[in-house]
Every structure is written in C-alpha cells, then in structure tokens.
C-alpha cells in the first residue's frame, strides 16, 4: 500500500507516523507513507497556496491550482483521493477496514477554511471527518486516519492478538473494563470473576459490563 499526504505541514502529518508500530510497518515494507508540501506545486513569486473567499467571508481557502497539479502528478489508475475536512462523513472502524485493502490513497489535508469546492467536485472520491470538532489542520486528521488504516495491514501489529480480536469487534459496543496485576492496589481489587478461571462466566460478565459502559459513555451506539 502507498499513502501520499498533501499538506502545508508535512512534518505535522509525519510526526506520529515515525514511531512505534507505524514506523515498523513502513520499515517492514507494508506501507510507504509520504507527506508532500503543497507549496511544491504552487507557482508565482510567492508560491501562494491560499486566497480570500469569493463573495466574502472570514478566512482563507486553499487554491485549486496547486492541488490539481499535485494530484495530476501523484495519481495512478488505482488511487483513491480523500479530503480530510470537518464537512466529511465521520471516519469509523468499518471505513478503516475498507480502506486498508486499497492500493493507493492520497489524502488532501485542508487548512484555513478548507479547499476550493472545484477540488471536491473534480478530484475527491471521499470526504472524511475524524469527529465533530474543528482542528487547526487537516494534517493531524490525515495522520489519525493513516494510523487506523495501517495498523490493520496484515503483519502491522505483529502478534497474534490483533486480527482475531478485531473480527469479533462490535462497533456498537464499548469494550469491558480491563485489569492487570497487582490483584490488589491501594485496597482496590480486581473483580473476583476475572480470577475465577471460569471462561464462560467471565465472557458473560464482560458482555454485561460492556453494555453498562456503553450506556454510560456512548448511549448513541445502543440506539443503532
């Protein structure tokens, strides 16, 4: 898989991808990730990438020309072009799984008030938001989406854990609380059931507390 990230801040996009599992996935050749400075495709003396809004309004928009030029250079037959924007559909695990089987992703990271709409109309296959809040910079969102996709590539997580657990992952239920040693810490004990060795009962307990936790933290998931 290859992922190209177009941004005014390549260092922001790459910083979280240069450590730990993301670093190893790239070193192992599972994925090639490259963040490009959009200014490389800007022309004119000042290499301007943004401009005022037509019709008035606050802020600046990314201009279409550098984005068109970059995409035309980077795009291949198999490329999927994704814009990171708070106006996109919300990125979920199912979409991460779907995108993990693509050959080539190109992320366009918005900045300022977003991008000229002709970019969306002509180039973009999918608009994604990482949640209902506004970041200063789509490069952060591109790194988040990249991480979620790359960890799903076979071999990325390395151990047996991953793939098995995730095939049972229920997107409408939060995980049960988890404990490790010590069994007692500052008078706080690990629930007895988890020490019982009774697997069926443990699973039953986990299902129960999962629902309670979902009810408390994410009641919206139970409505689905």
Binding region for ligand ADE (CB under 6 A):
84-86, 110, 129-131, 133-135, 138, 141
CB of 156 closer than 8 Å to CB of 96: no
Looking at the Cβ atoms of 108 and 152, the one nearer to ligand ADE is: 108
d(CA 7, CA 84): 10
Kind of pairing, strands 126-129 and 79-90? parallel
Looking at the Cβ atoms of 64 and 114, the one nearer to ligand ADE is: 114
Handedness of CA 159, 164, 170, 171 (dihedral sign): positive
Find the shortest distance in angstroms from Cβ 67 to ligand ADE.
15
Find the shortest distance in angstroms from Cβ 145 to ligand ADE.
8
Find the shortest distance in angstroms from Cβ 183 to ligand ADE.
41
DSSP character at residue 36: E
* Three-state secondary structure call for residue 2: strand
Find the shortest distance in angstroms from Cβ 59 to ligand ADE.
12
Looking at the Cβ atoms of 131 and 177, the one nearer to ligand ADE is: 131
Please give the residue whose beta carbon sits closest to ligand ADE in the complex.
141
Looking at the Cβ atoms of 24 and 95, the one nearer to ligand ADE is: 95
Place of tokens 């409408």: 172
Looking at the Cβ atoms of 144 and 190, the one nearer to ligand ADE is: 144
d(CA 201, CA 198): 6
């Amino acid at each position: 898989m290859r992922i190209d990230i177009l941004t005014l801040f390549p260092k922001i996009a790459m910083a979280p991808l240069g450590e730990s599992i993301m670093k190893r996935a790239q070193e192992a050749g599972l994925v090639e990730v490259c963040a490009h400075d959009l200014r490389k495709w800007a022309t004119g003396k000042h290499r301007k990438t943004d401009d005022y809004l037509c019709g008035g309004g606050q802020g600046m928009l990314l201009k279409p020309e550098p984005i068109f030029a970059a995409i035309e250079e980077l795009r291949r037959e198999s490329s999927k072009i994704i814009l990171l924007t708070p106006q996109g559909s919300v990125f979920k695990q199912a979409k991460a799984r779907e995108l993990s089987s693509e050959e080539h992703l190109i992320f366009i990271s918005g900045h300022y008030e977003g991008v000229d709409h002709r970019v969306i109309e002509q180039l973009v296959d999918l608009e994604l938001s990482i949640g209902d809040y506004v970041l200063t910079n789509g490069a952060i969102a591109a790194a988040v989406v990249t991480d979620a996709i790359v960890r799903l590539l076979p071999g990325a997580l390395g151990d047996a854990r991953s793939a098995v657990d995730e095939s049972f992952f229920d997107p409408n239920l939060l995980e049960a609380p988890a404990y490790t040693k010590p069994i007692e810490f500052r008078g706080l004990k690990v629930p007895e059931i988890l020490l019982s060795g009774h697997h069926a009962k443990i699973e039953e307990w986990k299902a129960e507390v999962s629902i309670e936790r979902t009810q408390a933290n994410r009641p919206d998931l139970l409505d689905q």
